Structure 1
Amino acid sequence: MNRRTADPLRRVLPMLEVRWTRVARAVALGTLALGFSVGLAAAAAWLIARASQMPPVLQLSVAVVAVRAFGTGRGVLRYLERLASHDVALRGMAALRANLYDALARGPVTRVIALRRGDLLARVGADVDAVGDVVVRALIPAGVAACVGLGSVILVGAFLPAAGATLLGCLLLTGVLAPWLASRAAASVERRGAAARAEVTGRALELLEDGQQLRVAGRLDDRLVGLRAADARLTRSTDDGARISGTSAAIDAGAQTLAVLCSLLLGLPAVAAGTLTPVELAVVVLTPLAVFEATSTLPAAAVQLRRSREAARRLVALLPDGTDLSDARPAPVAPGSGTLLELAGVDAGWAGRTVVAGVDLALRPGGVVALAGPSGVGKTTLLLTAAGLLPARSGEVRAGDGGTLFVAEDGHLFGTTVLENLRVARPDVTADDARDALAAVGLDAWITGLPDGLDTLLGPDGADVSGGERRRLLVARALLAPARVLLVDEPAEHLDAATADALVATLAAHARDTGRAVVVASHRLTPLAVADEVLLLGASPGAGDDAGGAAQVVARGPHAALLHDEPGYAWAADQERTGEARVHPG
């Protein structure tokens, strides 16, 4: 493994798309701002010492103007440096988020599928910010400190070379030793802090989203205890970081004091020997007081570098192993075959485990296929593999032109209007298109009853819509999408029997009317009569060395044929009908 691959920060840094000319401009402005501070200290020291000798006023005029210029320019340049450095950081964070989302969208979902939502949120939120901060809080301060420190050593050395050498040694003490110690001490602190922040985010999000369900289940108190424990670990990590900062500040103060004392001790004999004037002695002694402002930020910069590297490590864990993100993408089907999607001997699974083995399927325009089987048998995993979101463990997935869309059971609804949520599928969706799609899924009365119709704002992640309304909104969005193949996971979830059957029938009719193809995964069997073919998945132990215990297609055919030939399928369908008769005895 080469160094670039081994260091997660070096891998993520190009995703910031930093323009180094902007960084150089920020470093130059920062150097000028701190240079003006050093110049202000030197000019003020000369002015005070010279004024004490009561020379003619005209001899002080240049120094007075210089002090005013340095004092005013320092503030202006510091403001311009902040603008330049934050411009670099904010542009980098935006680029990193865009590149990260693009990589996640184009790559397989194996890296994120096992993460809690709160952990994923922490990575694409706080961790991206931490990586972006590496420029403005680590690289730019280091560049400024190097330039200002070197210039200050030259300035002091021009008056007294020995004092310049002493200043250089003290600057190295606070600019190299202190950051090195801070970085070493922060190694475990930042790792623990990043983990604690992710856990706090995850637990807090769980309580916000599922608090009522946890309360009903009697698990709310346990979750609150876990949140408090995670927050305590984060607090301890923050306290440890504060101790590191205090130690670094002590080293900086000690080095600054040492530099001033050494300058004084070296300067007094030089004044006595006549090689240094008393005014020059004041400059040599007082200038270091301003110089150490440049190196005082370096311990924090070293800690930030460690924090950014730890954040980059968590981001790299989301990315594919290499630069090729095409491992999970379906291969093209043979030209002229008329097939929109084809699975040939596909084994589907993730995390090193095969969930469904040996699936063969061919979808043509207007085709409707249903995946049936108990919950947890692997229907969703198979759909993710067919969509190219999971790489097939063996076999081949081939897709035609037009794209494949996976419609997740828990797809996201954005905190914006109903119309804008539907435009996620296609930006040019009109109000009439949206109403037609909503009517097709049985939401015409619902949208009419909303206070602002299509312009009604939905809460974050659809918090103010019911489960059934959410499912139908997601299906309506899929109907508006340009993809030729729709892979719909559990469209009947959270719906009553009649509405669920009507929604599946709508999907089938849409496929046949538009020449698209639809695959519906459902544990409910009654509406599957509209499908051309039903693939019944079931457990089949001993399905192969790698797929032992994986589900297989245990039966396939039209719904009516499975009712006749498969006793288990017929029994499950009969239980559905019996249950509905009990609920609706009329």
Structure 2
Amino acid sequence: MTDPLLRALSLLDLPRKRITAAVGAGVIALGSALALAALAAWLIARAWQMPPVLDLSVAVVSVRALGITRGLFRYLERLASHDTAFRGTTSARAEIYRKLAVGDAAAVTRLRRGDLLTRTGDDVDTVGAVVVRALVPMAVAAVLSVAAVVLLGMISWAATGVLAVALVVAGVVAPMFSARAARAAEAAAMTASATYAENAVTVLDHAAELRVAGRSDVVIEAAKAASNRAAHESDRAAGGAAFAAAATPLGIGVSVLASLMIGILLADNGMSPMSLAVLVLLPLAAFEAVGPMPAAAQALTRGRVAAGRIMELVDKATAAGRDGVVPVVGVDIETLDVCAGWPGGTATRPQNMTVPPGGRVAIVGPSGSGKTTLLMTLAGLLPPTAGWVNVGGIDVTELDPAELRQRVTFFAEDAHLFETSLLENLRVARGDLNEVDAVAALRAVGLRDWVDALPDGVDTVLVGGDRAVSGGQRRRILLARALVAPADVLLLDEPTEHLDAAAGAELLRALLDRDSGLLGADRSVVVVTHQLPTDTRADQVISLNYAQRENLLPTP
């Protein structure tokens, strides 16, 4: 299965019973409309002949029943299709998160947060919308179109042929042209939307820093420009959609006019007034089924583009499951002339370090000197641009990424706090963490008084996530999350940022001292920081600065 849309739909885990129920309700709803049109046409023509009222009573009641049935089952179809889509997107996100969690983390770390948010958010919603806007309407249209052609065939084969051709043009040909014209524009619009999300997330996450650096307006303007590009590309796709939308009323007009002319010609051959009325009015109801097809084609186009982006991410992550990976047999880290950097950027000069079991290493340097990049390279999240990183004597690129992350874990400076309880925020690192151990970890990082003052202790919900705590409290919570993790080696990025100098220095001393009790003596830690106290007991201190970075990486 190579079609990205089919692969992405499989992630939704759509139950056949629910899809069948949605299609069935849609068929009954539009089938009621079709029957209502035919019956109403017959009733109007028959009433003109002024028969006894009792002759029309069954038809009158049936018209009312079909009107109610149409609305009722239309609601049930919407209910069933939306419920299926929402359940499917929830299932898809859970499956994507699972694949990303156990797969190659480099697939995530090489994406900007805005792009990752777009792929796991908007793109999944777009694929889910295919169920509501494409799959169910297409199935309903196919069934109802066949039913309308068969029903009209009982009256006139000539009118049936005209209706069939008009239905194919309005329901198949026009949407195909619409989708083809919109495909490139939709792809460009999604790219622009991802760029907008990247800049918007940057502004939201780093508003204060951007204002201080005087770049806030630049990033906001970049977001506006990306938003305008997305709108422009969407407008480009409107031309094809307009053609497809015009095809439906054109088909209705041609079918009704042709049916009327054929009916007039057949009137001399004994066609009854009731049959003539049905012949003319039935196409009006028949086209109600194919009316949503242009929108369905647009939904399929958007869904295929979004699915391609989703599956690209999933494929990169699941590539970690390839054959030939080596299990992790040790947790001692050794680097040999390793250079760290991002594609298209600069790289650090060669660095050598040794982190034995229980080792304590500090990496010091100003912002932009490559500290975090070097830390991610040690974790196997970024491939070294030169040199080697060995874990347990084996090249990190040959190790099983999932097992490596369980043994050697990177904790980012901008890690997220979720809008859930304090305990659940710590369980991100260890799912079986109990309340006693959670409280102990929080107290160990200096949050004793704060935790004791919380109304529900560690069960207190952090309303708003990051916004519920101060910068210092957030940093201590993230450090507590790292401490409770089961990893043998902790790679900590700026664990004391936003703390006052004295408190930050105290925590750094404790992290880099085997005898402090903050971290088990058998567990290793590599800490990245701007300022390192002079009296720490680190085994090795690596200093990076701007002069140690070079333009070593080619732009891909």
Aligned partners of 1:162, 1:401: CA distance in 2, in Å? 70
Match of 1:340 in 2: 331
- The residue identity in structure 2 corresponding to 1:122 is T
User: Does structure 1 retain, via aligned residues, the 8 Å contact 2:197–2:223?
Assistant: no
Q: What residue is the counterpart of 2:525 in the other structure?
A: 518
Name the residue aligned to 1:363.
Answer: 356
Structure 1 residue 264: Cα displacement: 0.8
Q: Secondary structure at the match of 1:318?
A: helix
Which of 403, 409, 413 is residue 413 of structure 2 equivalent to?
Answer: 409
Worse-matched range after superposition: 138-147 or 521-530: 521-530
Distance, in Å, in 2 between the alignment partners of 1:179 and 1:247 is 9
Q: Give per-residue Cα distances to partners, 1:205-256, cap 9 Å, x unaligned.
A: 3333433443444334444444443343344344445554443222110110
- Which one of 280, 294, 311 corresponds to residue 289 of structure 2? 294
Distance change (3 Å), C-alpha of 1:527 and 1:158: farther
From 53, 69, 79, give the equivalent of 2:65: 69
Q: CA 1:213–1:371 in 2, change beyond 3 Å: closer, same or farther?
A: closer
User: Which digits, 9 at most, give the CA deviation of each residue in 1:432-471, with x for residues without a partner?
Assistant: 4333222211222344566765455545452354433322
User: CA distance change for structure 1 residues 471 and 323 in 2, over 3 Å: closer, same or farther?
Assistant: closer
Selected match of 2:319 from 320, 324, 335: 324
Q: RCO (CA 8 Å, sep 6+): is it higher in 1 or 2?
A: 2
Alignment of 1:84-483 (within 5 A): 84-274=80-270, 276-321=271-316, 323-326=318-321, 331-334=326-329, 339-343=330-334, 347=338, 350-351=342-343, 361=354, 363-364=356-357, 366-372=358-364, 375-390=367-382, 396-397=395-396, 403-448=407-452, 454=458, 457-458=461-462, 460-483=464-487
> Which structure has the greater CA radius of gyration?
1
Letter of the 2:420 counterpart: T
| Cα distance between partner residues in 1 of 2:335 and 2:220 | 48
* Contact 1:437–1:480 (CA under 8 A) maintained in structure 2: yes
CA, structure 1 residues 135+71, in 2 after alignment: closer, same or farther (shift >3 Å)?
same
Shift of 1:495: 3.1
On the 8 A contact 1:528/1:534 being kept in 2, the answer is no
- Take 1:119 and 1:549, find their aligned partners in 2: how far apart are those partners? 23
Native 8 Å contact 2:494 2:529 kept in 1: yes
Take 1:301 and 1:549, find their aligned partners in 2: how far apart are those partners? 45
Note the alpha carbon deviations across 1:108-130, whole angstroms, 9 max, x for none: 34444354333332222111100
Aligned-partner SS, 2:121: helix
Report what 1:555 is aligned to. Answer: none
Question: C-alpha displacement at 1:527, in angstroms?
Answer: 5.8
- Judge conservation of contact 1:330–1:386 (CA < 8 Å) in 2: no
Q: What's 1:568 paired with?
A: none
Using the TM superposition, name which of 117-126 and 376-385 deviates more.
376-385
One-letter code of the match for 1:482?
P
**Whole-Å Cα distance in 2 between the matches of residues 454 and 402 of structure 1?**
25
Asked whether the equivalents of residues 116 and 202 of structure 1 are also in contact (C-alpha less than 8 Å), the reply is yes
Gaps spanning 5+ residues in structure 1: where?
A: 551-586
Amino acid at match of 2:214: G
Q: Does 1:50 align with 2:46?
A: yes
Q: Structure 1's 527 and 16: CA in aligned 2 closer, same or farther, altered over 3 A?
A: farther
Structure 1 Cα separation of the partners of residues 50 and 427 of structure 2:
78
> Which consecutive segments of 4 or more residues in structure 1 shift more than 6 A?
327-330, 399-402, 537-543
Contact in 1 for aligned 2:11/2:91 (Cα 8 Å): yes
Offset at 1:72? 2.1
Contact 2:93 2:124 (8 Å CA) reproduced: yes
* C-alpha spacing 1:328/1:522, structure 2 compared with 1 (3 Å): farther
Q: CA RMSD in A?
A: 3.5
Q: Distance in 2 between matches of 1:440 and 1:322?
A: 35
SS in 2 for 1:62: helix
CA distance in 1, matches of 2:108, 2:272: 69
Matched length: 537
Preserved CA contact (<8 Å) 1:426 1:482:
yes
> C-alpha separation between the residues in 1 aligned to 2:124 and 2:269?
59
Contact 1:35/1:148 (<8 A) preserved: yes
Classify 1:69/1:452 alpha carbon distance in 2 versus 1 (closer, same or farther; 3 Å). Answer: closer
How far, CA to CA, are the matches of 2:34 and 2:42 in structure 1?
A: 12
Q: Deviations over 1:339-367 (max 9, x none)?
A: 43445759565538875768564532x44
Mapped to 2, the partners of 1:382 and 1:207 lie a distance apart of 25
Aligned mates of 1:245, 1:173 — CA distance in 2? 14
**Shift in alpha-carbon separation, 1:150–1:123, aligned structure 2, 3 A:** same
| Contact 1:110 1:351 survives alignment (8 Å) | no
TM-score (normalised: structure 2): 0.85
Q: CA deviation at 1:391?
A: 5.2
- Counterpart CA distance in 2 for 1:130 and 1:58 is 53
- Separation of aligned partners in 2, 1:85 and 1:110: 36
In the TM superposition, what is the alpha-carbon distance from 1:472 to its structure 2 partner? 1.8
CA distance in 2, matches of 1:169, 1:431: 69
Aligned-partner SS, 1:482: coil
The verdict on how the C-alpha distance between 1:464 and 1:525 changes in structure 2, with shifts beyond 3 A counting, is: same
The match for 1:60 is: 56
User: Given that residues 138 and 298 in structure 1 are in contact (C-alpha distance below 8 angstroms), is that contact kept between their aligned partners in structure 2?
Assistant: yes
Cα distance change on mapping 1:331 and 1:537 into 2, 3 Å: farther
Given that 1:167 and 1:259 are in contact with CA atoms closer than 8 Å, whether structure 2 keeps it comes out as yes
For residues 329 and 527 of structure 1, what CA distance do their matches in structure 2 show?
45
8 Å contact 2:103–2:318 — kept in the other structure? no
TM-score by length of 1: 0.81
Identity percentage of aligned residues: 46
SS in 2 for 1:320: helix
**Equivalent-residue separation in structure 2 for 1:541 and 1:65 (angstroms):** 87
Choose 291-300 or 94-103, whichever is displaced more.
94-103
8 Å Cα contact 1:107-1:389 kept in structure 2: no
